[in-house]
Amino acid sequence: MSPSDDTTAHAAAGSGEETRTHAFYGRRKGKPLRVGQATAIADLLPRLAVDVTKAPIEPRALFAAPVDDVWVESGFGGGEHLIETATANPGLGFIGAEPFVNGMAKALVAIHEAELESRIRLHHADSVLLLDALAPASIGRFFLLYPDPWPKKRHWKRRFVDKDNLDRVARVLRSGGEFRFASDWAPYVDWTLKRVLEHPAFEWTARTADDWRKPWAGWPGTRYEEKAIREGRTPAYLVFRRV
């Protein structure tokens, strides 16, 4: 991590990220931001940021106008799925978590252009502290889409799907809520399926092979998916229900 990246990491909206023993992401910053992106980080992000120090957070209270439910996306990349799903579901509120500065900046610009500031809130770090801050049984859906698979064995501890994080997701999902996972990395799909099926709080909703081979209804696609298909990898789409 460069000195500039270190400054960014410790300034992440009071996230307390520096207290973590390990992270589920790699670098936080890539190419220099364009002027509009830097302005969005400086001006819009503070207005949309969730203060995770004020736990327990009732997600619906984060929005000025009433929302029917709140969905959370962990590691939203450039925000394509987050924004398109919010656009398609005008009665819902959304919280997106993303540690990567360039992805957050891109999403902020798109959120402003789509006029979604009233229904999207953001956490500029990975989603662990956010999940810990949310009130129990307070969200209806949690998305983990194309997470970094950390393919090398020495990095497996960085994979987001583990017992502790599944406990976190289970705690904040209400009964009948869904954990939705997508990946093009077959070993990580197998890893996820094994660990979620071993967890007593979840059941897999698939009944036929097409239930995991085809995207769920309303899936808008992501740039990661486009790249995977272009390079010959087959994505999998897993839906688990909170029991």
Give the pLDDT of residue 224.
Answer: 82
pLDDT for res 12: 41
In degrees, rounded to 5, the angle at the alpha carbon of residue 166 between the alpha carbons of residues 215 and 192 is: 50
Q: Two tokens at 64?
A: 């000025």
Q: Once rounded to an integer, what is the mean pLDDT over residues 28-37? A: 69
CA distance linking residue 178 with residue 59, whole number of Å: 16
Burial label, 211 (beta-carbon count in 10 A; 0-12, 13-18, 19+) = middle
Q: What is the band of 27 on the pLDDT scale with cuts at 50, 70, 90?
A: very low
Q: Among 37-41, 62-66, 72-76, 198-202, where is mean pLDDT lowest?
A: 37-41
Instruction: Report the distance separating Cα 186 and Cα 190, nearest Å.
Output: 6
- Euclidean distance between CA atoms 93 and 61, whole angstroms: 10
Which listed residue (5, 69, 132, 148) is catalytic? 148
For residue 219, what are the CA distances in angstroms to 73, 145, 216? 14, 11, 6
CB 157, CB 22: distance < 8 Å: yes
Active site residue 132: no
2, pLDDT greater than 90 = no
* Dihedral sign computed on CA atoms, order 155, 20, 142, 218: negative
Instruction: Tell me the CATH number for domain 3-242.
Output: 3.40.50.150
pLDDT at 37 (0 to 100): 80
| Residue 130 CA from chain centroid, whole number | 10
Beta-bridge mates of residue 173: 139
How many CB atoms are closer than 10 A to CB 5?
14
pLDDT of 5 strictly over 60: no
Q: What is the pLDDT of residue 22?
A: 53
Backbone φ and ψ of 92, nearest 5°: -110, 155
39 confidence band (pLDDT: 50, 70, 90): confident
Q: Domains of the chain: which residue ranges?
A: 3-242
pLDDT score for 16: 43
Distance, CA of 87 to CA of 33 (rounded, Å): 26
Per-residue pLDDT of 191-203, as tens digits, reads 999 999 999 999 9
* pLDDT of 26: 43
CA dist 173 and 153 (Å) reads: 30
Residues 83-110 have a mean pLDDT of 96
Average pLDDT over residues 3-29: 41
Side chain identity at 43, as an amino acid letter?
Answer: D
Please state the φ and ψ torsions of residue 227, each to the nearest 5 degrees.
-65, -40
CA triplet 185, 186, 190: central angle to 5 degrees?
A: 120
Residue 20 above 50 pLDDT?
A: no
Is the pLDDT score of 11 beyond 90?
A: no
Higher confidence at residue 132 or residue 225? 132
DSSP H or E segment with residue 6? helix 3-10
pLDDT at 9: 36
pLDDT at 180: 98
List residues bridging with 183 in a β-sheet.
236
Per-residue pLDDT, 1 = 31
Instruction: Give per-residue pLDDT as tens, 165-219.
Output: 999 999 999 999 999 999 999 999 999 999 999 999 999 999 998 999 999 999 9
Average pLDDT over residues 44-54: 96
